[in-house]
Structure 1
Amino acid sequence: FCLAASMFLKQAFEGEYPKLLRLYNDLWKRLQQYSQNIQGKFNASGTTDLYVDLQHMEDDTQDIFIPKKPDYDPEKALKDSIQPYEAAYLSKSLSRLFDPINLVFPPGGRNPPSSDELEGIIKTIASELNVAAVDANLTLAVSKNVAKTIQLYGVKSEQLLSTQGDASQVIGPLTEGQRRNVAVVNSLFKLHQSVTKVVSSQCSFPPAAEQTIISALKTIHVLMGNAVQPLLTSVGDAIEAIIITMHQEDFSGSLPSSGRPDVPCSLYMKELQGFIARVMSDYFKHFECLDFVFDNTEAIAQRAIELFIRNASLIRPLGEGGKMRLAADFAQMEMAVGPFCRRVSDLGKSYRMLRSFRPLLFQTSEHVANSPALGDTIPFSIIIQFLFTRAPAELKSPFQRAEWSHARFSQWLDDHPSEKDRLLLIRGALEAYVQSVRSREGKEFAPVYPIMVQLLQKAMSALQ
């Protein structure tokens, strides 16, 4: 009977540990008040009989309020007596948190949990945190269990992701693998949102406990990013491939008699606009996490603008009619990247560069060199690169001198983001031109050459 009663008590203490802990906390508060009351009475009366009682208490080795050892913590000693029950409770708590996750991610399963199944997981998390709210240390311990639960959900979700080639295709409609990846990302997003809501609804939640759960949620956000990265990379690569086809078009023409370009924008720009509109409707609209999608697509939009300006600055030859069409392309570029953004103006420096570069197409080289946008908004290297367009064929652009294709030069620029490296390449092209003029015993340099040299010197000194 004693053994049975003992087992019953053990199970009761383990199962209802938070209640037991609350009783212990109440007991400790009362003992503290009792101690303070005795001390207060002694201080108030100063009578010898109370003094004798206090002396007797000091001699009592069992007294917990007047410790003999300086490192003795009476409250901790009291809590330690029920520590085995806490360990058992936390173990069962973790099982209660893990069980619904293991249930909705069966071995060989291919789909993430349904909304109802996810709601069940969230209710379990909320319940465990609510029950643990009786004590800050217990809340922290249960929060660590919740963090492990979030990580388990992430690991199980990651196993569902499709990493085959069809997961990153951007030619046809959504493949089965892409649909599954979208469903997994949406599921992770709902988990992130729901747990964040549970944490924010907790009263007087310890900061350490909150930080523990937030850290685990960050891994979910990273996993969402990893899940969409193959698709984002494919979209970015396709955009670059479309932009670079601008060099297959002829921008050398003079202005038509009407004074306006024959077409509102170039063929590559129409293709770019169509592609971006299609990937938004075919792929990205299926994600429920709009802010997350825009955070990623805005980065693609910024990169697209930078690639557009980079390639526009390389166009040679550029006639007056070509300038008009390129200016129209600049205006259309804003519309092209529009679907990728909340607002195009949110794109920051890329947007300002797009706006600032367009007027330079029609300005004299002297005006271009004195543009207030130089340096801060538009890098010097881009402007000097653009001025090669106005030079005779003998003054070769850096990529022409190296006998590189536009695509290879663009790759070189990606591999050398340092402005100094880019300026040194330009300097090499200008020095080669000087050698060329001298070798044919030329009497003068092209009018744009001294402006380019002056800009190069200004750029190099700005780097010092």
Structure 2
Amino acid sequence: MDAKDVCVEIENDAFYSKFLDENIKPLTGETISVTDQVTKLALGIEKLGKTLEKQVLAKHNDLLTQASHITDLETTLASVQNQVQNLLKGAEKLQDRIHIPYFALENQTIMLERVQTTCNLLRHSTKIIALWNKLINVGDHPAKEAIILFELDELIGDYDFAGIVLLEEVLKEVESRRKELLTNSIAALQSSLLNGDKTKLLQCFKVFHNLQCTEEQIRNTVQNILNELQRDIATSLNVQMVSIEVKKSSSGRVAPGKANIMNAQDFKMKLWDNIEKLFKIEIYNGCAKVIMLQNAINELHAIGNFRNITKNFWSNLLQIFSTELEKSPQNVNQSMEIDYPKLLKCFNDLLSKLKYKDLEMNRSSMMKWENSFLSKSLGKLLEPVRTMWHLSQVPSMDQIDNAIRVIAEALSISLGDKQLSISLANSVAKSIKQMNMEAEQRLSMDSDVAQIIESPTSSQQKNADLCNSLYYFSSQIKRVLVNMNTMLPAESIQIVQNSLKDITSMPVLQLFAESIKNSLYIILMTMHDEPDLVRADDPMGKTLSCSPYMKELQQFVSRCKDIYLSMFQEKSALNECCLNIAIACIERFIQHVCNTRPLSKFGRIKLQIDCKHLEVALSPLVNDVSELGDHYRQLKALHLILEKTPQEIAKSQSEGACLPYSLVMMFLFSHAGPQLLAPHTCAGWNIQKLMQWLDTHKNEKERLEFVAGALQRYQNHVRQNQIATYDEVYPVLIQLLEEGRKHLKK
């Protein structure tokens, strides 16, 4: 059997495989007997033995070769071992040759170091004694004494002089003199800060600088001031101490039944007295000391860079104040929230009194109380607005005055603090927005709010009353802003003014304006039905009056102003509305006049009279018609062209007349014969359709092309019918068309 097969057989055998495990355990648990086990093991050993014999016989040449190689290897290893032994012996000899001189050199170095140390000790001792003698004779010059003591400290710190009897007393005296000088300088620093003695303060810092302890002394001094202020702040905010002082001051004068109210009032007054005193005395004195300290150090450039002493102190002071206020009882915190502007005023007055550029109010430390104050202020501002609308549909003047008073108080509270003023101005703007929103929600938008036939309806009267209330509210706030103009920041005024821009009567007035304009358009439309415009008789020597439609227009405008527009009190909005109506009326009048056909000489004179009476008709709306600017000048220009020939009109137009070329050309069609049809007649429109088109096509180029179309049609008509001559107005129209197009290109 092959050796490999024997190995596989043993590995796979259940009995033999147990002997292959590294952790061999007794086989006492086997079911076969011990004798059988021994027999089976002997059989297995015998198989392995035979297999090994076969392997040895098969590989005997290789085994012999390997055995001879092992002998050679052992010989080589023995040789190497001898060489290693020789190398170790040589290394030991080399070590001895190196160590002996090294140890000798080391001993000499130690001796030299000790000699050098001894020399340095002697040298330092000599300098220490010399400086000590100099220190004894320095006299009353702390700065010089500090320099000598610092040099002595440097020398003494370099070596250990213990055991040198000569220096024992000197070292003790040096340490004593240094402590005494430092103690005296610290005391002098405190007294100079207290008395404001800048000269003495400078001397103290020269001493500290010479002793190399400037930073430490600055830190300790500032910290001591902060600690004292922290105690003062805690004492001022101590509710128990305040209550005791209140009871002492109010004993024997509080009436029965009013003790709680009076105690609360007295407590509040005493608390704020303590806080104001704290800022005026303790905090001011502490800040003044630090500023004096900063100024003194800034003068002594040589002692180092300490530019942020005051700034850091102020930041720490604000944090301490905030922390102590946070720890104070609820009633103290409530007083701070309610009267937060007083607290800001204390800070601002303090900064104003100190007049130091690096100090400014960091509001982040006071943000809790500021936010609470602003929240309550907003509630106070919104309350009267909500109340007045809750009680009635239209607020009374007294209710509005109450809201104005609250707004004025809110703005005046912030005087002296720009940021608080801006924050309160934003709150005021919210109350104004609330007022406007409440009014808008109550404005009636029923179908009858713009009627101008009957007397004003209840809805129209209510709308007018709402607009007048808003106008009164807005005008009173503007008056408050004018009174406070020099005291309030420009940003606060701008915020409030911007919030007032949305308050106007124009939306409601615009409804009336549209109704009035539509009625005026209807009245002006009847111009074309007037028989006088086509009368053939000569008007010379006759006394003529305005047309009936113009009389109706005058009565209508006067009635609308007296009955409907007079309900509104906002003059600026009312004037704007009236100007809008007047301008629309003039524009429509000019358009109708320019498109009236046929038109006789009598009719032109009649229209001239109507032009003059239109100014009278619009006088209830506009005191001075000349305020209408270009529209007034166009009305005057229309009055002039009514009496001119087409050639004269063309000449005046080329010289710079006020009327647009398109309207002048439309007017000239009234001078032409029946063959030269008006532009709207060519389009198949009636006069009403023409007015609608003019309203939606205000561009002069479009209007000129509209007229040009009628001229082109007339030209085609002449050619097709082989008419010998053109209408005498036609060349004038062509000339004006060319000039109008050139005018547009400029």
Give TM-score scaled by structure 2 length: 0.55
Q: Does 1:98 align with 2:353?
A: no
The 8 Å contact of residues 256 and 321 in structure 1, kept in 2 or not, is answered as: yes
Question: Once the two structures are superposed, what CA deviation does each residue of 1:144-195 show, in whole Å capped at 9, x if it has no partner?
Answer: 0000111100011111211111110011111111111111111111111111
Correspondence for 2:471 among 176, 186, 189: 189
Alignment CA distance shift 1:118-1:385 (3 Å): same
Distance 1:22 1:360 in 2: 85
Question: Which of the residues 615, 618, 623 maps onto 1:334?
Answer: 615
Q: How many residues align?
A: 440
Paired residues of 2:311 and 2:358 also in contact (CA < 8 A): no
Aligned partner of 2:525 in structure 1 is: 244
Q: Name 1:265's counterpart in structure 2.
A: 546
- For 2:277 and 2:476, the matched residues in 1 are separated by 28
Compute the displacement of 1:75 (Å): 5.9
Q: Report if aligned partners of 1:338, 1:344 keep a CA contact under 8 Å in 2.
A: yes
Aligned pairs for 1:388-427 within 5 A:
388-427=669-708
CA distance 1:255–1:138, change in 2 (3 Å): same
Instruction: Choose the corresponding residue for 1:118, options 400, 403, 411.
Output: 400
**For residues 190 and 29 of structure 1, do their structure 2 counterparts lie closer, same or farther at Cα, with a shift above 3 Å needed?**
farther
Deviation at 1:209, TM superposition (A): 1.1
Residue number among 551, 563, 572 corresponding to 1:282 in the alignment:
563
1:86 paired residue number: 370
Residue 512 of structure 2 aligns with which residue? 231
Equivalent position to 2:292, from 6, 21, 37: 37
Cα RMSD after superposing both structures: 3.3
The correspondence for 1:217, drawn from 496, 500, 510, is 500
In 1, distance between residues paired with 2:358 and 2:461? 59
Structure with more of its chain in helix, by fraction: 2
**1:360 shift after superposition:** 1.0
Gaps of 5+ in 1: 67-72
Residue 632 (structure 2) pairs with residue 348 (structure 1): no
The 3-state SS of whatever aligns with 1:82 is helix
Shift of 1:204: 2.9
Whole-angstrom distance in 1 between the partners of 2:700 and 2:632:
20
Partner of 1:296: 577
State the secondary structure of the residue aligned to 1:370.
Answer: helix
Q: State the shift of 1:31 in Å.
A: 7.4
For 1:304, the aligned partner's letter is C
Residue by residue over 1:215-258, the C-alpha shift from the partner in whole angstroms, topping out at 9 and shown as x without a partner, is 1100112xx21122211110111111111110111211123476
Q: Letter of the 1:339 partner, please give it.
A: P
Secondary structure in 1 aligned to 2:438? helix
The one-letter amino acid paired with 2:467 is V
Shift of 1:29: 8.6
Once the two structures are TM-superposed, the CA of residue 77 in structure 1 deviates from its matched residue by 7.6
The equivalent of 2:416 in structure 1 is: 134
Distance 1:197 1:27 in 2: 42
Which stretches in structure 2 are left out of the alignment for 5+ residues? 1-237, 244-266, 317-356
| Match of residue 69 from structure 1 | none
1:358 has 2:358 as partner: no
Alpha-carbon deviation of 1:359? 1.6
1:10-48 CA distances to partner (integer Å, 9 max, x unpaired)?
xx99xx99x98999899999877655533433455x398
- C-alpha change, 1:159 and 1:58, in structure 2 (3 Å) is closer
Deviation at 1:424, TM superposition (A): 0.4
SS at match of 1:165: coil
**CA 1:190 to 1:374, structure 2 compared with 1: closer, same or farther past 3 Å?**
farther
Which of the pair has the greater relative contact order for Cα pairs under 8 Å at 6+ separation? 1
Q: Which of 139, 143, 147 is equivalent to 2:425?
A: 143
SS at match of 1:278: helix
C-alpha contact (below 8 Å) 1:94/1:145 kept by paired residues? yes
Q: Contact 1:64 / 1:74 at 8 angstroms: preserved in 2? A: no
Contact (CA 8 Å) 1:35, 1:65: kept in 2 or not?
no
Contact preservation (8 Å) 1:24, 1:79: no
**What one-letter code is carried by the residue in structure 2 that aligns with 1:113?**
P
Q: Is the 8 A contact 1:374 1:380 kept in 2?
A: no
Change in 2 beyond 3 A, CA 1:324/1:24 = farther
**Deviations along 1:61-85, whole A, 9 cap, x unmatched?**
954579xxxxxx9867842111110
Question: Match for 1:204 among 487, 490, 502?
Answer: 487
Listed one character per residue, the Cα deviations across residues 293-334 of structure 1 (whole Å, up to 9, x for unaligned) are 112111110110111011001111111111111111111111
Larger Rg: 2
Cα distance change, pair 373–210 in 1 and its aligned pair in 2 (3 A):
farther
